[in-house]
Amino acid sequence: MKKACTLFLFSLIITQSFSQEKIKVAVAGLTHGHVDWIFNREGKNDIEIVGIYETNNELIKKYSDNYNLDKNLFYTDFEKMLDKVKPDAVSAFGATEEHIKVVRACAPRKIHVMVEKPLATTVQDAKEIEKLANQHEIHVLTNYETSWYASNQYIKDLVEKGELGDIRKVMVNSGHQGPKEIGVSKEFLEILIDPEKNGGGALMDFGCYGANLMTWLMKGEKPLSVTAVTNQNKPEIYKEVEDEATIILQYEEAQCVIQASWDWTFSRKDMEVYGTQAYAIASDATTIKIRGVESEREQTIKLDPRQSPHNDPFSYLAAVVNKDIEINDFGLYSLPLNVTVVEILEKAKESARIGETIYFQEG
């Protein structure tokens, strides 16, 4: 594996010019805890927030005060806001269950949409979102924090170059101590612990990361089967949803184990990829550990963070809307890939419910 070892130290740097045209973005909802990201982008001028939809007066006041936002930005009628401010794109920060409603309103108006992970709570909604996006020729992106990780892209490059050999096993570990334990807002907690609004508990909240990354590594290939086990380790806190989930995706010659949990002792989003020639572990966003079959010890590589627009979801959205980036059908943000993610999650929930392996059907 001499060739592989020499390529382990290679770092892919792509220089590309992107237009500086600012896009108009409207925000759909303030209940999702990730919404603060869009208001904390000092020094970036690629988007302009032209409207914010929210019906909760407490949240309107909170965000208006915290970020010194003009009161005229806020609307309590989503469709009226769209018609008034005419955004290029909408970034959705409500419950996952609401994503379909956002796309139903935006698609006929030719407004692009970016939602927080996962794409939808059901396959039925995911398929409708896909149909609407294709019919009205809009982009619907799904944002995952792990899409910004230089370590994950580095591993993907190694896989593409054959430096790991054939993938045999992937482990994706994601989650934290629990949403209540880490102190999310009451509005966000209400979403996460509601089986309808969130689609489930830890399985949906963090199982989606592994399904997204594995489908990406496998170039869109669907698993042959899905097996899942869930548990309520803290029923006194999470009465209606699971706080622990393990999902096994079986492919013809590979297996992925997704460990999604609200019971970790610390917050984590890491991935291990084991091939026939080497393994690579993304310990965090910029740290890679590698060892090949001919190596005597593990190497650790520190990477630079990804460069704009791949280090920020709103910069990425602007680049897509401005046609500076052409989305691959099986890129991390892409619609076809994230429909598959929802299919995996739905089968995982059913597997856990009935205690049996669920098989994907052809077609």
CA 258, distance to chain mean position in Å, is 14
What's the pLDDT at 255? 98
In a domain, 52, yes or no: yes
In a domain, 329, yes or no: no
Instruction: Looking at the structure, tell me whether residues 59 and 191 fall in a common domain.
Output: no
Instruction: Looking at the structure, tell me whether residues 132 and 164 fall in a common domain.
Output: no
Q: How confident is the model at residue 4 (pLDDT cuts 50, 70, 90)?
A: very low
Instruction: Looking at the structure, tell me whether residues 197 and 342 fall in a common domain.
Output: yes
User: Which among 145, 161, 177 is the end of a domain?
Assistant: 145
In a domain, 338, yes or no: yes
Residue 19 is given by DSSP the state -
Range of the domain at 163: 146-305+334-359
Task: Tell whether the model's pLDDT for residue 26 goes beyond 60.
Answer: yes
In a domain, 18, yes or no: no
What's the pLDDT at 328? 86
Task: Tell whether the model's pLDDT for residue 19 goes beyond 80.
Answer: no
User: Which among 145, 173, 202 is the end of a domain?
Assistant: 145
In a domain, 10, yes or no: no
Instruction: Looking at the structure, tell me whether residues 126 and 275 fall in a common domain.
Output: no
CA 266, distance to chain mean position in Å, is 20
Instruction: Looking at the structure, tell me whether residues 103 and 233 fall in a common domain.
Output: no
Instruction: Looking at the structure, tell me whether residues 126 and 218 fall in a common domain.
Output: no
In a domain, 312, yes or no: no
Percent of the chain past pLDDT 70, that is, above it, reads: 94
CATH of residue 165? 3.30.360.10
Long-range contact set of residues 302-311: C-beta below 8 Å, sequence gap at least 24: 303/11, 303/150, 303/151, 303/154, 304/11, 304/150, 305/148, 305/150, 306/148, 306/149, 306/150, 306/153, 307/13, 307/14, 308/18, 309/18, 309/46, 310/147, 310/148, 310/153, 311/148
Give the C-alpha separation, 27 to 115, whole Å.
Answer: 10
Instruction: Looking at the structure, tell me whether residues 103 and 246 fall in a common domain.
Output: no
Instruction: Looking at the structure, tell me whether residues 138 and 154 fall in a common domain.
Output: no
pTM over 0.85: yes
Q: Determine contact, residues 55/101, Cβ cutoff 8 Å.
A: no
What's the pLDDT at 3? 41
Instruction: Looking at the structure, tell me whether residues 114 and 156 fall in a common domain.
Output: no
In a domain, 140, yes or no: yes
DSSP 101-164: HHHHHHGGGT-EEEEESSS-SSHHHHHHHHHHHHHHT--EEEE-GGGG-HHHHHHHHHHHTTTT
CATH of residue 61? 3.40.50.720
Percent of the chain past pLDDT 90, that is, above it, reads: 91
> How many domains are contained in the chain?
2
In a domain, 68, yes or no: yes
Instruction: Looking at the structure, tell me whether residues 47 and 164 fall in a common domain.
Output: no
Instruction: Looking at the structure, tell me whether residues 168 and 293 fall in a common domain.
Output: yes
Q: What is the mean pLDDT of residues 94-104?
A: 98
Task: Tell whether the model's pLDDT for residue 6 goes beyond 50.
Answer: no
What's the pLDDT at 18? 57
Average pLDDT of the chain, as a whole number: 94
Q: Determine contact, residues 277/271, Cβ cutoff 8 Å.
A: no
Instruction: Looking at the structure, tell me whether residues 69 and 106 fall in a common domain.
Output: yes
In this predicted model, what pLDDT tens digit does every residue of 297-349 receive, in sequence order? 999 999 999 999 999 999 999 999 999 998 888 999 999 999 999 999 999 99
Looking at the DSSP bridge assignments, the partners of residue 295 are none
User: Which among 94, 118, 145 is the end of a domain?
Assistant: 145
Q: What is the mean pLDDT of residues 89-98?
A: 98
The two beta strands, 167-175 and 278-284, are unpaired
